[in-house]
Amino acid sequence: MTRRSALILAIASLVGLITLAWPLLLDDPSSTQVQPPFVFLALLPVVVAVVLAELAQGGLDPRVLAILGVLTAIDAVLRGVSAGTGGVELVFFLIVLAGRVYGPAFGFVLGCTSLFVSALVTAGVGPWLPYQMLCTAWIGLGAGLLPRARGRAEIALLAGYGVVVSYLYGLLLNLQGWPLLAGVAIPGHHEQLAFDPAAGLGENLAVFARYTLVTSTTSYDSVRAITTAVAIVVLGGAVLTPLRRAARRATVTGEVGAGDAATDADRAVTDTGRPARTVSRG
């Protein structure tokens, strides 16, 4: 990522967090119903589109875009097969592995494109889609920022990361839909679990924590976390190898022969002004 791309991505993430957390900043005792500001619903897709355009222009060459298209298609199929039934979700493990191999910018873009295409395939388009795209993009982004590790340590790191982000994903999406439940009772629970526009930040956070624990943490989120971790442990090594092989080939910017490698390597430059890499095909 260039510095400008990183800045745009940071701004987009900040806007996304605001669109998710704005109800917690609301303090209106006279209000009995909460409606999300339409400016947020219109702004979030635009922000995501700007980030995608910036990253595509700044760091994704045609070969990497081809890999992005293939992985997006695979993720769309995986989501169509699992469809989040009971929390079983196979889409995240591939985003984690690809973000790990190709870096945070690629992981962010793959998270956006995977959720968008899969939503078209599974008829899951709705006002929640931009939030799903952004939260999944953060998963790919974080995977590209994980510390170095190899072998079993890397698989354990990625599996643990998959568990954490599975819970965070459910929590953030709950935050998007929870304010719309103002005045609605949760079946089987007599305590207040709905959003109260007149309550303070601390009170609403406590209620939201109980709401998330009851509705998703112990069910959908836990199954998602287990599914993601098991998929990474079982398939992680087998998937990382071809991804890294494709990454090496995608980043090749020039080839020189064995006889004139010393002279040609000094003269060869890429379109970005950096010396071309030499590759031994074995």
pLDDT in tens, 19-28: 777 777 666 5
Burial of 124 (0-12, 13-18, 19+ CB in 10 A): middle
Q: What is the residue type of 265?
A: A
- Among residues 2, 38, 24, which one has the least CA distance to residue 206? 24
* pLDDT on residue 34: 55
Whether the per-residue pLDDT at 252 is higher than 70: the answer is: no
Whether the per-residue pLDDT at 265 is higher than 50: the answer is: no
**If you search the block for the tokens 């072998």, which residue do you land on?**
151
Concatenate the DSSP letters of all residues of 159-211 into one string: HHHHHHHHHHHHHHHHHHHGGGGTTPPPTT--S--S--TTS-HHHHHHHHHHH
Q: What is the mean pLDDT of the segment spanning 87-99? A: 86
* pLDDT on residue 36: 56
Average pLDDT of the residues of the chain:
75
Q: Out of 76-85, 100-109, 247-256, pick the least confident.
A: 247-256
Comparing 253 with 49, which gets the higher pLDDT?
Answer: 49
Whether the per-residue pLDDT at 33 is higher than 80: the answer is: no
pTM of the shown model: 0.76
- Number of residues that this document lists for the chain: 282
Check if the beta carbon of residue 91 is closer than 8 Å to that of residue 77. Answer: no
* pLDDT on residue 68: 86
* pLDDT on residue 27: 60
Q: What is the mean pLDDT of the segment spanning 225-246? A: 90
Whether the per-residue pLDDT at 250 is higher than 80: the answer is: no
* pLDDT on residue 260: 41
CA separation for the pair 208, 178 (Å, rounded): 8
185 pLDDT band (50/70/90 cuts)? low
Q: What is the pLDDT of residues 108-161, one digit of tens each?
A: 888 888 888 888 887 677 777 888 888 898 999 999 999 988 889 999 999 999
Whether the per-residue pLDDT at 264 is higher than 50: the answer is: no
Tokens read off for 122: 């599974």
Comparing 84 with 179, which gets the higher pLDDT?
Answer: 179
- The SS3 assignment for 149 reads coil
* pLDDT on residue 281: 38
To the nearest 5 percent, what fractions of the chain are helix, strand and coil? 70, 0, 30
- Among residues 166, 191, 196, which one has the least CA distance to residue 178? 196
Check if the beta carbon of residue 50 is closer than 8 Å to that of residue 130. Answer: no
Of all residues in the chain, what percent carry a pLDDT higher than 70?
67
Check if the beta carbon of residue 91 is closer than 8 Å to that of residue 79. Answer: yes
* pLDDT on residue 221: 87
Whether the per-residue pLDDT at 282 is higher than 50: the answer is: no
Whether the per-residue pLDDT at 242 is higher than 50: the answer is: yes
The winner for highest mean pLDDT among 35-39, 147-151, 206-210, 216-220 is 147-151
